[in-house]
């Protein structure tokens, strides 16, 4: 039996594949280690990683094998831990992209598995190396989650931002290379690992392999619903605050909300651009007939007043310095009970009025809760309360909602950003849809 596992760097492939191989009594084939081994020798010999023929010559010349512990050997000598160095990591994508290298390594990988099967992991094991594998899996995680994993592995928690940039660069190289690019096989089972421990991923794979069928995605989260008291539904504090919000946003900021009919009843995740502190009450006022919760950074709760408001209004506090699985589970619990939850995927307010980079946490929460995503574009709040200004100024605040997006779509986050940009342009041009109540 051959099980192939693909996915971007640091998505958990090696850890999971090794554990799965142990559970099934199969050899573990680390295809990425073979390319790392070639890269290590290339660097030791002073060869330019961009020199395809020379790198191919190295791959053809050296003898690669695996010891009893499934650790790679190079000409009979251990390749670990040298192949995991930062220098090798920085150049392995370039070396692995050469057709001359892959022409040697791929047949070798197939020969290893032909003896008695294997659990193989890499970038193209499901699409090129083992296209007829018995089972195929594709592991994914957001760049931030993967960067934090790599930082913990290396004992350099302060370097998460650096690792994130490196991983995004590797993703671009792996996905755009001419020979065997990283892509998701059509018949692969996709598993999002952001909020899953390695043993949970392995358990899911085992259920598929041994049971012959795929259990529901995501796994039944009965513990999640019981773990949080999320029954915050327009309580006294919320109604009191919304009374004053209604007055202020009606008379001071003359707010206009467009196409609120795009927001369905029941659980829904609203994804919005983030211009200023005025954004949270603005969305709540636009949907004032129902309770609206927010995902906000935990540091805001250090203020006694803000902390009190957040705790009594159904806010989810997230620690942005690490992969906050608790906050993700709490957000999912809110969505499953029918709340409208709002998240700002930029992670912070804009500094110049433009839309920043979107993080993938919003998409993951919607997928796990199986609720639609509704894009929301906000205009005017940056002008009313820009960074550095102590108090806001009066003005016109506008927001427009877009049609719901299925979070299961591969490009759901890109769709969401595109809709927000389109709605902002319409607000600017005055060509947006209907006002709330019309």
CATH assignment of the domain containing 97? 3.40.50.300
Q: Do 28 and 147 lie in a common domain?
A: yes
What share of the chain has pLDDT > 70, as a percent? 88
Q: Give pLDDT, residue 235.
A: 67
Q: Do 254 and 173 lie in a common domain?
A: no
Q: Do 374 and 234 lie in a common domain?
A: yes
Instruction: Round to whole Å and give the CA distance between 217 and 368.
Output: 8
- The yes-or-no verdict on residue 93 having pLDDT over 80 is yes
Q: Give pLDDT, residue 433.
A: 63
Instruction: Round to whole Å and give the CA distance between 239 and 121.
Output: 53
Residue burial 186-205, b: 16+ Cβ < 10 Å; e: rest: eebbebbbbbbeeeebbbbb
| Average pLDDT for 302-311 | 69
pLDDT in tens, 237-248: 788 888 888 898
pTM confidence score: 0.52
Q: Give pLDDT, residue 299.
A: 67
Collect all residues with Cβ–Cβ distance below 8 Å to 406 and sequence separation of at least 6.
Answer: 372, 373, 412
- The yes-or-no verdict on residue 134 having pLDDT over 90 is yes
Collect all residues with Cβ–Cβ distance below 8 Å to 316 and sequence separation of at least 6.
Answer: 293, 294, 295, 296, 327, 330, 331, 334, 341
94 assigned to some structural domain: yes
Collect all residues with Cβ–Cβ distance below 8 Å to 66 and sequence separation of at least 6.
Answer: 27, 29, 30, 72, 73, 112
Instruction: Round to whole Å and give the CA distance between 194 and 208.
Output: 20
Q: Give pLDDT, residue 221.
A: 39
Q: Say how many C-beta atoms besides its own lie within 10 A of residue 249's C-beta.
A: 22
Instruction: Round to whole Å and give the CA distance between 142 and 13.
Output: 14
436 assigned to some structural domain: no
Spatial contact of 72 and 37, defined as CB atoms under 8 Å apart: yes
List the end-to-end C-alpha distance of the chain, in Å, as a whole number.
61
Collect all residues with Cβ–Cβ distance below 8 Å to 89 and sequence separation of at least 6.
Answer: 36, 166
> Which residues are paired to 72 by β-bridges?
66
Q: Do 113 and 58 lie in a common domain?
A: yes
258 assigned to some structural domain: yes
| Average pLDDT for 135-140 | 94
Whole-number Cα distances in Å, 49 to 35, 64, 290: 12, 19, 58
SS3 346: coil
Query: pLDDT category, 179, cuts 50, 70, 90?
Result: confident
Spatial contact of 121 and 11, defined as CB atoms under 8 Å apart: no
What share of the chain has pLDDT > 90, as a percent? 44
Instruction: Round to whole Å and give the CA distance between 260 and 401.
Output: 6
Lowest-confidence region among 88-102, 199-213, 263-277: 199-213
Which is nearest to 125 in space by CA: 188, 80, 170?
188
- Owning domain of residue 317: 229-429
- The yes-or-no verdict on residue 222 having pLDDT over 60 is no
Q: Do 35 and 113 lie in a common domain?
A: yes
Highest mean pLDDT among 192-196, 296-300, 339-343, 368-372: 339-343
Query: pLDDT category, 411, cuts 50, 70, 90?
Result: confident
Pick the more confident residue, 28 or 411: 28
Which is nearest to 194 in space by CA: 139, 146, 141?
141
298 assigned to some structural domain: yes
Query: pLDDT category, 224, cuts 50, 70, 90?
Result: very low
Pick the more confident residue, 163 or 317: 163
Q: Do 27 and 85 lie in a common domain?
A: yes
Cα Rg of the chain, angstroms: 25
Q: Give pLDDT, residue 307.
A: 66
Q: Do 235 and 215 lie in a common domain?
A: no
Residue 377 gets the label, from left (phi > 0), alpha (psi -120 to 50) or beta, of beta
Instruction: Round to whole Å and give the CA distance between 250 and 278.
Output: 13
Collect all residues with Cβ–Cβ distance below 8 Å to 22 and sequence separation of at least 6.
Answer: 28
Which is nearest to 182 in space by CA: 115, 289, 249, 102?
102
CATH number of domain containing 360? 3.40.1130.10
Q: Give pLDDT, residue 324.
A: 55
Q: Give pLDDT, residue 227.
A: 41
What percentage of the chain's residues is helix, strand, coil (to nearest 5)?
45, 15, 40
| Average pLDDT for 344-358 | 84
- Of 158, 188, 222, the residue that ends a domain is 222
Lowest-confidence region among 171-185, 214-228, 315-329: 214-228
Could you give the number of structural domains in the chain? 2
Q: Give pLDDT, residue 265.
A: 83
Query: pLDDT category, 312, cuts 50, 70, 90?
Result: low
Whether the link from the prior residue into 357 is cis, omega within 30° of 0, is no
Q: Give pLDDT, residue 280.
A: 87
């Amino acid at each position: 039996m051959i099980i192939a596992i693909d996915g971007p760097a640091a998505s958990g492939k090696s850890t999971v594949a090794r554990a799965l191989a142990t559970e099934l009594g199969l050899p573990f084939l680390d295809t990425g280690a073979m390319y790392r081994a070639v890269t290590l020798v290339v660097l030791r010999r002073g060869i330019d990683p961009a020199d395809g023929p020379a790198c191919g010559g190295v791959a053809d010349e050296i003898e690669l094998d695996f010891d009893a512990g499934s650790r790679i050997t190079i000409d009979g000598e251990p390749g670990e831990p040298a192949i995991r160095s930062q220098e090798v990591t920085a150049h392995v994508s370039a070396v692995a992209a050469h057709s001359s290298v892959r022409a040697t390594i791929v047949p070798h990988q197939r020969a290893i598995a032909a003896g008695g099967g294997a659990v193989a992991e890499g970038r193209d094991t499901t699409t090129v190396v083992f296209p007829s594998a018995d089972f195929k899996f594709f592991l994914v995680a957001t760049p931030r989650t993967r960067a934090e994993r790599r930082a913990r592995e290396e004992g350099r928690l302060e370097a998460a931002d650096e690792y994130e940039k490196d991983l995004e660069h590797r993703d671009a190289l792996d996905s755009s290379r001419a020979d065997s690019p990283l892509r998701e096989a059509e018949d692969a089972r996709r598993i999002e690992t952001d909020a899953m421990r390695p043993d949970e991923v392995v358990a899911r794979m085992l259920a598929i392999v041994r049971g012959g069928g795929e259990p529901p995605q995501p796994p039944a989260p009965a513990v999640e619903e019981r773990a949080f008291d999320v029954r915050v539904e327009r309580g006294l504090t919320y109604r009191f605050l919304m009374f004053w919000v209604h007055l202020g946003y009606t008379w001071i900021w003359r707010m206009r909300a467009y196409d609120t009919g795009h927001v369905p009843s029941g659980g829904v995740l609203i994804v919005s651009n983030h211009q200023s502190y005025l954004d949270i009450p603005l969305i709540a006022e636009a949907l004032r007939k129902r309770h609206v919760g927010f995902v906000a950074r935990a540091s805001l709760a250090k203020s006694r007043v803000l902390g009190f408001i957040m705790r009594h209004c159904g806010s989810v506090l997230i620690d942005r310095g690490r992969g906050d699985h608790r906050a993700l589970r709490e957000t999912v619990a809110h969505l499953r009970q029918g709340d409208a939850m709002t998240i700002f995927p930029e992670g912070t307010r804009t500094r110049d009025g433009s839309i920043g980079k979107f993080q993938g946490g919003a998409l993951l929460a919607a997928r796990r809760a199986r609720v639609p995503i509704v894009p929301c574009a906000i205009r005017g709040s940056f002008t009313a309360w820009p960074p550095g200004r102590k108090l806001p100024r009066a003005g016109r605040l506008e927001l427009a909602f877009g049609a719901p997006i299925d979070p299961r779509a591969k490009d759901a986050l890109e769709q969401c950003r595109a809709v927000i940009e389109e709605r902002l342009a319409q607000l600017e041009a005055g060509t947006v849809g209907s006002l709330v109540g019309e």
